[in-house]
Amino acid sequence: MKRILILIYGVIMSSSVCAQLIEDTVRAEIEGVMIKALPLQSSFNYLQNELHVNQNSALLAATFDDPSRVLYRHVGISTSNDEANGIIYRGLPSSSTKWTIYGAEIVNPNHTSNAGTFDDYTSSSAGGVLALPFEVINKFNFFGAPLSSGKVNALSGIMDFEFGAKGRNFYKLGLLGMEFGYQSQKRSEFKVHGRYSTVGILADLGVDFDGESIKFQDIFMEGRLNEKITAFSILGSSLNHKRALEGTASAEVLKDIQNIEYNSLFSIQGLRFKEKNQEHSLVFSFKSDDRISETDPDLFVLDNQIDSSIFKQLRLSYAGEWIISSNAERGFLKTGINSSYAAEKFQQGLRKFEDPSFYIEPYISYRKIVTNLNGLSYGISLGTLFDSYTRNMSIEPNLSVRFVQGHNTFDFNSSYTTNAHNLIVKASPGEKLTRMKMLSFSLSWKWQNIENKLFVLSRLFRNSFADLAMYGNYLPAINDYDYSLGNELFSFNDNGLARNLGLEIMIDKSFSNGFNININASLFKSEFRNSERQWYDSRYSFGRIINLNLSKRFKLKKENILFINLAMHERGGTYG
């Protein structure tokens, strides 16, 4: 079943906002892709499969004030369904992505993290609404495989937040909710931002949404303690209560005939220290997801007609980096450490499993960047990952090479990464499992003519996995095991294999009349090998992902600008 999404969005912007956009564009990092709003994706710098989203990206169609949904505009990225913001990168499951703040790993920062899941249990990495809207971020970064050493243990990608953007005083009622912001003008630069969901307001007024109630609220606070140290805090809660359908005629899955109460709350607090040659972040995060379901025995008989489950996560993470040398002649040398302690607990009825775990990942990185317009640049990094579950240390290298000649840029990236297991795998009965491993390659060519505002990018990628698989049905981890948290414990083995291969292309053209067009497509195949050594398409082997983005600027009176964006996202595969 194909899914096509076409949405349009327009906004009036003042000239001061446009000036800020130009300033942000000039400051764009040289090693990534900056997704901007005016014009849409018109100037890319490309190296490490990186995307950088800023506040201006909120102008794009169908972002719904969720920075993670901006990524769907880019080549190779889609979602399993439009109920949740999970990131499916090149056919890899959203459970293989991690969330970080200033590089330190955190719990899933999404409201209603049961949204879009098969059986309405919690997801480890996705949700209905991200609790960090555009107003609070300075930059939202996506780092996709091949990953450079120094990124926290992940396979497909990392989604990292940076704060510090200058806030404003406002109050508004938007599509997602009632929202306010406050920015102090004192030295502390104290900032507060809060939201209460629109559907929550309507539900409080007695509006019925076909037997379902969804509410969320969050508050963000940030303040500067001194010139080097910043503190931040994020608090949020959400609920999703639904009534069962009457009868089974229109039911598609079990949760359709269940009365379900899902309640979630989370807390994130952190400190960031930054000076010229070093930066450090220490982040504490906690999340609790409680779910109770009741099934009418006249409709469907279960072992337990009333099912109760609790999933709790507590995580304390640190990320630190030191610049040893930043000389253009000798190159850029830096070292750092990522570490995280997690206490996780899952309880369903009388069945309970909890496990404290720890990992540490020191790394060193060297980059040599060409100092003129043409020539060869390269980067080498090496990390070592140790986790308390496997008690093994693995070496994880990364190599990147770039050659620039005129309008042409050629990039080669490769990495070997491993991934410490999550709670459901560690709860598996049987022998201890080795970490999942992935070898990634990416080769790209970019042609860019700044004068004519034309950009063309093509890329070939290949990933190979040492995957997990379940005994019996041989369901591999590449098919996503998020939804398995609510079922009986599965027995895993670590003999699975998976692979994907694809080709991506993007064309971006801006015109002098303010019109911009961006077309990008990804053609790929994602497979896993079963116990009979036969290869089958994985769950997210969509075959293709196609994006079309059209934007137009209109100059109005009093130096105002009307910006309109039309976006289409289409992919193959199944929906759900």
The CATH number covering residue 509 comes to 2.40.170.20
Neighbours of 390 (CB within 10 A): 18
Residue 168 lies in a domain: yes
The pLDDT of residue 412 is 93
HSE, CB side, 13 Å, CA atoms: give it for residue 54. Answer: 24
- Exposure on the CB side of residue 11, measured as CA atoms within 13 A: 16
CA angle 56, 566, 169 (to 5 degrees): 30
pLDDT for the residue 443? 93
Q: Quick one: average pLDDT of 358-366?
A: 95
Report, as an integer, the average pLDDT of 114-133: 83
The token duo for 569 is 């996202």
Provide the residue type at 357 as one letter.
S
Give the least confident one: 280-294, 492-506, 512-526.
Answer: 492-506
Mean pLDDT of 257-267: 92
Lowest mean per-residue pLDDT among 170-184, 217-231, 264-278, 292-306: 292-306
**Do the domain assignments include residue 154?**
yes
Strand partners, 405: 408
Average of per-residue pLDDT values in the chain: 82
* pLDDT at residue 3, as a whole number: 47
| Mean pLDDT along residues 248-256 | 77
Report, as an integer, the average pLDDT of 176-203: 86
Rounded to an integer, the average pLDDT of 494-514 is 87
Grade residue 485 by pLDDT with cuts at 50, 70 and 90. Answer: very low
pLDDT tens digits, one per residue of 535-570: 889 889 999 999 998 888 888 887 788 888 888 999
Cα 59 to Cα 41: distance, rounded to the nearest angstrom: 12
Tokens 């076909």 locate to 210
pLDDT at 481: 61
Q: Who's near 391: CB < 8 A, 6+ residues apart?
A: none
Residue 482: pLDDT over 80: no
| Range with the poorest average pLDDT among 78-82, 102-106, 214-218, 251-255 | 251-255
The tokens for 470 are 């379940």
Residue written as tokens 């015109």?
511
Confidence of residue 27 (pLDDT cuts 50, 70, 90): very low
Task: Note down the domain range covering 153.
Answer: 3-571
Q: What is the pLDDT of residue 159?
A: 94
Coil, strand, or helix at residue 134?
Answer: helix
Asked whether the beta carbons of 237 and 265 are under 8 A apart, the reply is yes
Residue 270 above 70 pLDDT? yes
Chain centre distance of CA 20: 26
Over residues 400-413, the mean pLDDT reads: 91
| Phi, psi torsion values for 561, nearest 5 degrees | -130, 135
pLDDT level of residue 505 (50, 70, 90 thresholds): very high
In a domain, 517, yes or no: yes
User: H-type helices in 112-258, by residue range?
Assistant: 198-204
- 3-class DSSP state of 558: helix
DSSP at 209: B
pLDDT at 1: 42
- How far apart are the C-alpha atoms of 385 and 8, rounded to whole Å? 45
Q: Comparing C-alpha atoms, which of 230, 225, 216 is closest to residue 271?
A: 230
Span 481-506, mean pLDDT?
72
Q: Which residues contact 167 (CB under 8 A, 6 or more apart)?
A: 135, 136, 181, 182, 183, 191, 193
DSSP designation for 490: P
Task: Determine how β-strand 104-105 pairs with β-strand 110-111.
Answer: unpaired
Q: How confident is the model over 366-375, as a mean pLDDT? A: 82
Q: 26 — phi, psi (to 5°)?
A: -65, -35
* Tokens encoding 25: 């564009």
In the numeric block, which tokens belong to residue 503?
């080709």
Q: Kind and range of the H or E element at 16?
A: helix 15-26
Is 514 within a domain?
A: yes
- Tokens at residue 130, please? 């991200």
Give the Cα separation of 213 and 157 in Å (integer). Answer: 32
Does position 24 have pLDDT exceeding 80, yes or no? Answer: no
pLDDT at 43: 35
CA nearest neighbour of 131 among 196, 78, 55, 81: 196
The encoded tokens of residue 380 equal: 């080498």
Asked if pLDDT for residue 22 goes beyond 80, the answer is no
> Per the domain annotation, does 576 fall within a domain?
no
Most confident of 83-97, 268-282, 471-485: 268-282
444 pLDDT more than 50: yes
Mean pLDDT of all residues in 162-189: 85
Q: Which two tokens stand for residue 166?
A: 């200058």
Per-residue model confidence as pLDDT tens digits over 194-245: 999 887 777 777 776 777 888 999 999 999 999 999 999 999 999 999 888 8
Question: What average pLDDT does the segment 20-31 reach?
Answer: 32
The three-state secondary structure class of 406 is: coil
> Average pLDDT in the 150-156 region?
84
Interval 174-179 mean pLDDT: 80
For the chain, the C-alpha Rg in angstroms (whole number) is 24
Residue 138 has pLDDT above 80, yes or no: yes
Residue 442 has pLDDT above 50, yes or no: yes
Model confidence at 105: pLDDT above 90: yes
Between 316 and 247, the more confident residue is 316
Count up the domains in the chain and report the number: 1
